[in-house]
Amino acid sequence: MATAYLEEVNPWEAQVARSDLAAKKLKLDEGLWKILREPSLEIIVHIPVQMDNGTLEIFTGFRVQHSIDRGPSKGGIRYSPTLTLDEARALASRMTWKCALVNIPFGGAAGGVICDPDKMAKRELERLTRRYTMELIEVLGPEKDVPGPDINTDEQIMAWIMDTYSMHVHHTVTAVVTGKPLELGGSHGRNEATGRGLMIVCDEALKRLSMNRDQTRVLIQGFGNVGSNAARLMHRRGYKIVGVSTSKGGLYNKNGIDIDALWMYHKRNSTLIGFPGTEEIDSEELLVTDCDILIPAAVENQITSRNADRLKAQILCEGANGPTTAEADDILADKRVFVIPDILANSGGVTVSYFEWVQDRQGYFWPESEVNDQLDHTIRTSFAEVLQYAERHAVNNRIGAYMLAIDRVAYTLRQRGIYA
Ligand code: NAD
């Protein structure tokens, strides 16, 4: 791959390209930005795991804490064969800005293990998760660093983390992770929260652009936690979902897909392919297919300098973290695409994670309607604040979102006097 393209798709470079620009527009003091820009702690662990066939394997894992200035650090655990430290750094720093944007008292963290869960047995994954947790035991905790789910990690993995931590401290500590099963201190609405947040920001964007929901065609890349929940909720609200994809391929029907039926089909067959009444479409092709809203909800670097000029969508709503490169941003701006940046669009997940943490610490659990109402309020408020900020400073939505978030964290740092 050409060096320039490799730089374009490096997650950390892509992340700091935007935050550096936002800090510059804010005219932030250089020294202060030096503190805010870099992660405060980076841990690499090499974890021995006994495999089911008796052999020993060593897996490499990371945990990056970007900031603890506004509260404990918070962020996902990702299991992926291609995970890198730069990816974890980028995710951790993005979480700092995301939490500040929705104004919840967390800093950002991220981590995970280089592994391929598709090729591992459940017991192997459990041993890996428990050992990874033990390696990090001193830095985790409800007041320190609170992991949550991300790619290839689910509520079972969160339950194992919670159990391992609790055994170590000799009492049950539910607030050490979020995204847990309901019976173990999870929150109603957490599973769908990121997808619900995507729907709320799309509703708000339609209002801004005077578009009609029932005539709005949506394409969604990714049918995991984020993509499938967004598809289901948006389908029920009246959006026309015309295409979806997973890493195994995608489907398209210009008249709309019955997402409830597809959900059941995907559950039964672990693939979308073969679902009746649709044509197959390549996942890359799906991104440049005609639609009104495009929701990348899979992995990084899907919209780059190589395909951004071919996008047809009027609205790009970023379900995934980092689906668009900084180079692609410029092309999308020229095309006047309305971008709802990841740190706003997918912030529903961490918002309800915050509600889960609050409920765990109170020992008092809210009904689902309360969770959804509070989420709705938080996301709509943040959407309005980002647009106002972007308009006031004559920048695009992404840079507006970063400016607002960086401004909030910088303010906290000045108030605390760290920067005295
Ligand atoms: P997941 O593991 O549940 O699902 C990932 C989905 O993406 C799967 O359907 C997979 O097949 C698909 N996929 C992977 N590569 C693809 C490709 N090249 N083309 C099409 N599909 C592809 O993960 P998730 O939790 O849904 O997370 C998805 C994204 O959303 C990630 O970027 C994650 O960081 C971000 N995110 C997740 C949450 C959350 O609450 N889970 C919150 C905020 C952001």
Confidence of residue 204 (pLDDT cuts 50, 70, 90): very high
64, 97, 383 from 77: Cα distances, Å: 10, 18, 26
Backbone angles phi, psi at 121, to 5 degrees: -80, 160
Shortest-distance atom of ligand 1 to CA 284: 19
Beta-strand pair 145-149/73-80: parallel
Q: What share of the chain is helix, strand, coil (3-state, %, to 5)?
A: 50, 15, 30
| Residue pair 78/92 in contact by the 8 Å Cβ criterion | no
Amino acid residing at 195: G
Of all residues in the chain, the percent with pLDDT exceeding 70 is: 99
Q: Which of 77, 94, 150 to mutate to test the pocket of ligand 1 (most atoms within 8 A of CB)?
A: 150
Q: Please identify which residue in the block is written with the tokens 């919840």.
A: 104
Q: Which of 225, 229, 301 to mutate to test the pocket of ligand 1 (most atoms within 8 A of CB)?
A: 225
CA-closest residue to ligand 1 atom 27: 151
Q: How far is the CA of 118 from the centre of ligand 1 (A)?
A: 14
CA-closest residue to ligand 1 atom 18: 247
21, 135, 322, 331, 339 from 334: Cα distances, Å: 18, 47, 20, 5, 12
Q: How far is the CA of 296 from the centre of ligand 1 (A)?
A: 9
Q: Tell me what pLDDT residue 1 has.
A: 67
Mean pLDDT of 294-305: 97
Mean pLDDT of 294-322: 97
Residues 6+ positions from 298 with CB-CB distance below 8 Å: 221, 222, 224, 227, 245, 246, 247, 283, 320, 323
Mean pLDDT of 223-245: 98
Q: Tell me what pLDDT residue 199 has.
A: 98
Mean pLDDT of 135-163: 97
Q: Which of 200, 201, 299 to mutate to test the pocket of ligand 1 (most atoms within 8 A of CB)?
A: 299
244-293 per-position pLDDT tens digit = 999 999 999 999 999 999 999 999 999 999 999 999 999 999 999 999 99
Q: How far is the CA of 247 from the centre of ligand 1 (A)?
A: 10
Residues 6+ positions from 299 with CB-CB distance below 8 Å: 151, 222, 320, 323
| Residue pair 244/220 in contact by the 8 Å Cβ criterion | yes
For residue 420, pLDDT beyond 60: no
For residue 173, pLDDT beyond 60: yes
Q: Tell me what pLDDT residue 304 has.
A: 97
C-alpha 397/C-alpha 151 separation (Å) is 26
Range list of H helices, 9-76: 11-25, 30-37
Of all residues in the chain, the percent with pLDDT exceeding 90 is: 97
| Angle subtended at Cα 5 by Cα 95 and Cα 299, rounded to the nearest 5 degrees | 40
For residue 419, pLDDT beyond 60: no
88, 110, 163 from 39: Cα distances, Å: 10, 10, 28
240-256 per-position pLDDT tens digit = 999 999 999 999 999 99
- Beta carbon of 224 within 6 Å of any ligand 1 atom: yes
Q: Is 19 left (phi over 0), alpha (psi -120 to 50) or beta?
A: alpha
CA-closest residue to ligand 1 atom 34: 321
For residue 2, pLDDT beyond 90: no
For residue 3, pLDDT beyond 90: no
Confidence of residue 235 (pLDDT cuts 50, 70, 90): very high
- Beta carbon of 247 within 6 Å of any ligand 1 atom: yes
- Please give the mean pLDDT across all residues of the chain: 97
For the chain, how many helices (H) and strands (E)?
15, 12
Q: Tell me what pLDDT residue 368 has.
A: 98
Confidence of residue 70 (pLDDT cuts 50, 70, 90): very high
* pTM for this prediction: 0.97
351-390 per-position pLDDT tens digit = 999 999 999 999 999 999 999 999 999 999 999 999 999 9
CA-closest residue to ligand 1 atom 5: 224
| Residue pair 272/248 in contact by the 8 Å Cβ criterion | yes
C-alpha 32/C-alpha 418 separation (Å) is 10
Q: Which of 146, 228, 245, 247 to mutate to test the pocket of ligand 1 (most atoms within 8 A of CB)?
A: 247
88-117 per-position pLDDT tens digit = 999 999 999 999 999 999 999 999 999 999
Amino acid residing at 316: L
Range list of H helices, 111-189: 122-135, 155-169
- Beta carbon of 346 within 6 Å of any ligand 1 atom: yes
Mean pLDDT of 38-45: 98
Which run of H or E residues covers position 112?
strand 107-114
